[in-house]
Amino acid sequence: MKKTVKALVAGLVLAISGTAAAFDCKAPVKILLTNDDGYQAPGIEALQSAFTKAGFDVTMIAPDKNNSGVSTALNFGKVAVTKDAEHKIYAVGGTPATSVLLGVTGILGPDHRPDLIVSGINEGANIGPATPISGTVGATVAGVQLLQPPVPGLAFSTDLPTKGNPRDPQNLEHFAQVAEFATRLIARLRDEGCATGRIMKPREILNVNYPALPPALVKGVKAAVQGQSSYFNISFQETAPGEYTAPFKRVTPGPDVEDSDTTLFGEGYITVAPLDGDYTAPENAVPRAGLQRGLKDLKP
């Protein structure tokens, strides 16, 4: 059944009234599941299967087609939604961020507010400079920055063992392994939430990247920071009159900041980088006092 949902937008913020309720660790973890590869992608299917088996309360609200690289882009106006009530799946004619905001405010509502936004599993790592342009990560940023009260989130991404079809048997097995890790991570957050009364901090995002390795060959799990050295190159070239394309080319990253997710991921670790969607430059990068001095004599 197809229906049209009107996204009610005030300025750039979609909000619902009220305050975040204390986390109920005796109830199933309520998860809004989304991605940027589309609701029929094998990565999100792997998460839905693993989460359901674990007893989590999962509702999939995800784009109806691929939306890679759209960051936190939003759709304004009317957004079409196709509902599969039996399997709790909503295919949204919009971006990942739109799916999250529409899902929380228009579909689930205050009585079914999720404990977590979970996005992924993306086909391809979202580390270093890829992080802010990722639609997978952007969905979780929308949850902490544009919802009131915010909903914390986790973004899961992985490189695939084999190139080509993501549904190759080896890739499907890998997605299942990443989904099992995601389930264990959320179960640990749930158990810790029983003691603290919250499953995560309200504005916290965990950006998780899993290397293209079987579990036995993964070196471990490391807390990381977003890397600054790029591992890819995008260069547009004219391929036909008036037409340009930019193939994604991997390059060897250069020296990076300490505990960089790019470096650790390349060494074979699962990286977990805490984010909050705040793009303000840190004081050691752009001192505000110096910036203010530079602005002192600038007239309006």
pTM: 0.90
Residue with the larger pLDDT of the pair 63 and 111 = 63
Sign of CA dihedral 97, 44, 151, 135: negative
Over the stretch 152-202, which tens digit does the pLDDT of each residue have?
Answer: 999 999 999 999 899 999 999 999 999 999 999 999 999 999 988 999 999
Token pair 């009260």 is at which residue? 149
Over the stretch 57-71, which tens digit does the pLDDT of each residue have?
Answer: 999 999 999 999 999
Of 45, 32, 150, 158, the C-alpha closest to 96 is: 32
Q: Phi and psi dihedrals of 194, rounded to 5?
A: -65, -30
Of 96, 3, 85, 2, the C-alpha closest to 41 is: 96
State the burial class of residue 140 (Cβ atoms within 10 Å of its Cβ: 0-12, 13-18, 19+): buried
Interhelix angle 42-53/169-196, nearest 10 degrees: 50
Token pair 């509902």 is at which residue? 83
Q: What tokens were used for 152?
A: 């914390």
**What pLDDT score does 252 carry?**
84
Whether 1 and 82 have beta carbons less than 8 Å apart is answered as yes
Task: Judge: domain 2-7+24-278, CATH 3.40.1210.10.
Answer: yes
Report the distance separating Cα 229 and Cα 224, nearest Å.
14
Residue 5 has pLDDT above 70, yes or no: no
Whether 263 and 227 have beta carbons less than 8 Å apart is answered as yes
Identify the H or E element spanning 34.
strand 30-34
Token pair 């094998």 is at which residue? 42
Q: Give 20's pLDDT tier (boundaries 50, 70, 90).
A: low
Task: Please state, in angstroms and as integers, the Cα–Cα distance from residue 239 to each residue in 144, 153, 235, 236, following that order.
Answer: 40, 39, 12, 9
Domain boundaries, the chain: 2-7+24-278
Q: Phi and psi dihedrals of 125, rounded to 5?
A: -65, 145
